[in-house]
Each structure stands twice: as structure tokens, then as C-alpha cells.
Amino acid sequence: MDEAEPFTYDGGRVDPGERTNVRYTVSETYLGDPVRIPVTVVVGEEPGPTAFLSAAAHGDELNGVEVVREVAHEWDLDDLRGTLICLPVLNVPGFIAQERYLPVYDRDLNRSFPGKAGSTSAKRMARRIFDNFVAPCDVGLDLHTSTRGRTNMLHVRADMADSSVARVAKAFASNVIIDGQGPEGTLRREASEAGTATVTVEMGEAHRFQREFIDRALVGVESVLAEFGILPTERVRWPGWRTIVEGSSEKTWLRADAGGLVDMHAARGGVVREGETICTIANPFKTERTHVEAPFTGLLVGILENPVVYPGNPLCHLVKLDGDTLDAIERSDGTGSPRDPTSPTVAE
């Protein structure tokens, strides 16, 4: 029978049955002080896959931070098989400044993977993170929120053409999966291409903890770890209904054609019918109004939170629904709202 193996990284080792909390150096400040990311590594006494959970690649996206912290420090992981790597804050400089990007030349850490030694500050940081804590893994969940001023319903983004990645995406038990590789340099794309099947989880908005999203994401994490036998005592979830959005014709960002103040008539996660008014844009006197209508029947995956727009600003992210999915949503609770995957269900 195979035995559990230690997890090693540059500068450290964690043996089976042990856990460690480290602040791992990935860069230096202008004063030469170390920039350290928090990392928790838990190695089970029994062999199994290695998985990572990461958050705050964008420093102001906080929901995922709490998800990773709770898994690492509040869950009972005594029965863990394999290794779990918890990375609650990847972009420490951005997190400290509460900014999306690295404050160093305003670079996007989540466009810098897998990184490169001897390159930009962002790529150097990305390389340290990738080589030590991502590449050794079999499975990865990278947690995000929408950018400031917008909010997303909980959903997964994944390259469904990759069977290993599709397995992770489906196991997370979200109602919506948006298919695609993702842009070059994103953690999920580069990790998946390197052999670590990774998906992005989107949920809520920046600059806050939103308990409803945190709790639902924790269910998804548990479901993935159960699917891969890392938490063998838990079960894989089925969300009640699911739609996989493929191709640009099945999704669209609706943008403002006029500047003004927005009155949103539909909720995040709500169903809108073709031709239905999603929102209106009015001037300060309310003498001129622009009605924004749904081009097709779909689900509002993301909507505007900040109610002021210039022409061209995004208003909502709409994904197309087929008839069977629409029927399933309406049966789920009678209102068209997504079913809570924490409710009892049968595994798919």
C-alpha cells in the first residue's frame, strides 16, 4: 500500500499528519523588507491528491479570503487524504492597499502566471507562488469576486474541453459554468495547462465579506474535495440545476449607450425574458430615459452596483438559457431564483 508523502517547497517541508502556517517570501518592498504571503499546508496521514485553494489574486476581492481561512483553520481535517494548500492572500501588496492590482506599476498579478524569474515584479512573484504551491498540485480552486461597482452571482469559469478541469467544475456544484480557457496569464489557465486542473470561482463583490457567498462557496469546496477523495467522509453535491455556457453567442455584457443614473429592475441571479427591460438610464432631471432590454432570455450572472455610468460602461452580464434549463430553474423554487446548493440533494 502506498504511503503518504511529505510536501516540500523551497525552504520547507511538511510531513504526513502535520500542518504548518508560514509567511512565504515572494518579493521585497522599496525598503528591502520581505513581502510575504500567508500559506497553510496540511498533509494527511493517508496518501491522496494535492489541492490548492487561493484567493485575493486581486487585492480587494475579499470573499474568497474568508473561504480559504475557514477551510484552513475551522474545518476538521483529521481525515484528510493527500495534501491541502491554502493561500488566502496571493496579492499581499494589493491587499494591504485594498487595490485590485499590485501597487507596483499597477500590474495585474492574475495576468502574470506562471511568472518568470528575472522579469517584472509581478512575474517574479507569480513564479515563486506557481513553482512552490501551484505546480505540485493536482487540483486547484482560485476564488474571485467581481470588480468594484459590480456584483456576480456565484458561478464557475473553466475550460470544459479539458476533462480534468471539467471534473473540478462540475464537482463544485454551482448552477452556472462559463466555458473557456481564460485569458493568458490567469492562474487557472496557466495552472491547467501545466497539469493542475484549476477553475475560477466568481462570487459577489469586492471590498466586503458576504456571508451568503462564503457559505455557498464552502459547500462547493467540500464537494470538490469529496469528488477527489481528499475528504472521503463528505459527499459530492448536485446544485438542483446547471447550465454550461459555451461560446460568445450564449453570453454578453450589455453596456450603456447613454450616460446617467441607472435604475436596475432585475436582480443578480434573476431570469429575464427576451425584450424585458433590465434597467433604465436617466439624466438628473429624469426627463430623458434609455431602456435597456434583454436581447434574449437569460440569467443575470453579474449586474452593476454603482448606479452611475458613462456611455460604454458595463451594466450586466447576461447568459442565455435554453428551454430545459429555464424549466428546471422555475421548478427549483417557483420564482426563477437559483436553488441554494446547501439544501439536501442527490449527487449527480
| HEC sequence for the chain | CCCCCCEEECCEEECCCCEEEEEEEEEECCCCCEEEEEEEEEECCEEEEEEEEEECCCCCCCHHHHHHHHHHHCCCCCCCEEEEEEECCCCHHHHHHCCCCECCCCECHHHCCCCCCCCCHHHHHHHHHHHHHHCCCCEEEEEECCCCCEEEEEEEEECCCCHHHHHHHHHCCCCEEEECCCCCCCHHHHHHHCCCEEEEEEEECCCCCCHHHHHHHHHHHHHHHHHCCCCCCCCCCCCCCCEEECCHHHEEEEECCCCEEEEECCCCCCEECCCCEEEEEECCCCCCEEEEECCCCEEEEEEECCCEECCCCEEEEEEECCHHHHHHHHHHHCCCCCCCCCCCCCCC
Tens of pLDDT, residue by residue over 262-298, are 999 999 999 999 999 999 999 999 999 999 999 999 9
Separation CA 137–CA 54 (nearest Å)? 12
Q: What CATH number should be reported for the domain holding residue 156?
A: 3.40.630.10
Query: Do 235 and 261 share a structural domain?
Result: no
In a domain, 224, yes or no: yes
In a domain, 151, yes or no: yes
**Average pLDDT for the chain:** 93
Name the residue among 27, 36, 4 with its Cα closest to residue 17: 4
pLDDT given at position 340: 42
Which of 214, 243, 272 is the last residue in one of the domains? 243
- The residue segments making up the domain with residue 13 are 7-243
Query: Do 179 and 327 share a structural domain?
Result: no
The answer to whether residue 144 scores a pLDDT higher than 90 is: yes
In a domain, 125, yes or no: yes
pLDDT bin (cut points 50, 70, 90) of residue 333 is low
Least confident residue range of 39-48, 205-214, 224-233, 322-331: 322-331
For the residues 109-124, what does the mean pLDDT come to? 96
Which residues are bridge partners to 177 per DSSP?
Answer: 156, 244
pLDDT given at position 181: 95
Query: Do 202 and 256 share a structural domain?
Result: no
- Length of the chain, in residues: 348
In a domain, 180, yes or no: yes
Query: Do 140 and 46 share a structural domain?
Result: yes
In a domain, 306, yes or no: yes
Separation CA 261–CA 263 (nearest Å)? 7
How many domains does the structure of the chain reveal? 2
More confident residue, 247 or 108: 108
Query: Do 158 and 260 share a structural domain?
Result: no
pLDDT given at position 323: 86
Q: Is the dihedral of CA 335, 341, 343, 345 positive or negative?
A: positive
pLDDT bin (cut points 50, 70, 90) of residue 347 is very low
Tens of pLDDT, residue by residue over 205-244, are 999 999 999 999 999 999 999 999 999 999 999 999 999 9
* One-letter amino acid of 315: L
pLDDT given at position 328: 86
The answer to whether residue 342 scores a pLDDT higher than 70 is: no
Query: Do 296 and 150 share a structural domain?
Result: no
Residue 260 — left, alpha, or beta (φ > 0 → left; ψ -120 to 50 → alpha)? Answer: left
Which of 187, 219, 243 is the last residue in one of the domains? 243
Separation CA 43–CA 293 (nearest Å)? 52
The answer to whether residue 67 scores a pLDDT higher than 90 is: yes
Which of 243, 277, 308 is the last residue in one of the domains? 243
Are 279 and 292 in contact, with CB atoms under 8 Å apart?
Answer: yes
Are 91 and 169 in contact, with CB atoms under 8 Å apart?
Answer: no
Query: Do 264 and 137 share a structural domain?
Result: no
Tens of pLDDT, residue by residue over 155-187, are 999 999 999 999 999 999 999 999 999 999 999
Query: Do 327 and 303 share a structural domain?
Result: yes
pLDDT given at position 248: 77
Query: Do 120 and 54 share a structural domain?
Result: yes
Query: Do 254 and 236 share a structural domain?
Result: no
pLDDT given at position 49: 98
Query: Do 206 and 95 share a structural domain?
Result: yes
Separation CA 36–CA 24 (nearest Å)? 5
- Express as a percent the part of the chain with pLDDT over 90: 87
Query: Do 43 and 148 share a structural domain?
Result: yes
